[in-house]
Amino acid sequence: MKMQNFKLTLCYDGRRYHGWQKQGNTGNTIQAKIESLLSRILAQDIEVAGSGRTDAGVHARAQVCSFRAETSLSPEQLLNLIRRYLPDDIGALSLEYAEPRFHARLSCKEKTYVYRIWNSTSPNVFERGYTYTMSEPLNVPEMEKAAALIIGRHDFSAFCSNRHMKKSAVRELRSIDFTQNGNVLEIALTGNGFLYNMVRIIVGSLIEVGLGKRSADSLKQALLSMDRANSGPTAPAQGLFLWSLSY
């Protein structure tokens, strides 16, 4: 049997989990779930690398991970086994052979996150697990104006929760798009990478703009200050989806 490199694409409902990344032997995380499942199916120790972490409660419409395994199972056979044993809040979308050097995090070129806001006084019963509920109306054109001021290649320290980051905080935020779907406002952020809590802090700041609590310009000022104290609150996890990845 030859050592193979695999690319596995998952989706998950984040509500029951303490995020993607395993935490020693504690915590119910997606990564730990997938590693223990693959290790049992393949009867060998499997380590998976995700495209990046998702926080506790954050969902994934698509999360990619890579792993190496010695197996004579075809990707199709292995995918069927994985699907048979996954809990119903984690789905395996696809499994394929990957180039030997493929790595889910290091090979990732672009990520899109979508933040979903139920923006209505109408009750939010069926979308309540997958949206953040806000009954106050949001001024979306002002939010779009603010968003346009922070896209581009910048040091995003002001939009990062990790105060002691030693690595570069420069990222390229390529677009922020707004789509209204019935009562749901979807904010899609695409970039070459995101800092810890960056999407949720940008969205929390945009929401303050939408509520008239701060000006669109203040987001540009916060960005330039590189100081977390000048940006808005971290928006709640339940509205956030890791949406798509480019390799």
Q: List interacting residues with a second copy (CB under 8 A).
A: 11-13, 59, 61, 83, 86, 88-93, 122-126, 128, 130
Annotated active-site residue 55? The verdict is yes
The CA-atom distances, in angstroms, between 115 and each of 192, 201, 223, 245 are 17, 11, 20, 15
Give the nearer residue to a second copy in terms of CB position, either 1 or 125: 125
Q: Which of the residues 13, 55, 88, 89 is marked catalytic?
A: 55
Nearest approach in angstroms of CB 210 to a second copy is 22
Q: Closer CB to a second copy, residue 79 or residue 209?
A: 79
- Closest distance to a second copy from the beta carbon of 29 (Å): 17
- Beta carbon nearer to a second copy, 76 or 99: 76
| Residue 229: strand, helix, or coil | helix
Pairwise CA distance, residues 88 & 95, whole Å:
18
* Cα distance between residue 194 and residue 74, in whole Å: 34
Q: What is the DSSP string of 106-141?
A: TT--EEEEEEEEEESSS---TTTTSSEEE-S---HH
* Type of residue numbered 49: A
Q: How far apart are CA 81 and CA 234, in angstroms?
A: 38
Give the shortest CB-33-to-a second copy separation in angstroms: 13
What tokens appear for 11 in the block?
A: 């989706």
94 vs 246, which CB is nearer to a second copy?
Answer: 94
Q: How far is the CB of 171 from a second copy (least distance, A)?
A: 28
Least Å distance, CB 123 to a second copy, is 2
Distance, CA of 16 to CA of 10 (rounded, Å): 16
Which C-beta is closer to a second copy: that of 123 or that of 141?
123
Q: How many CB atoms lie within 10 A of CB 181?
A: 8
Catalytic annotation, residues: 55
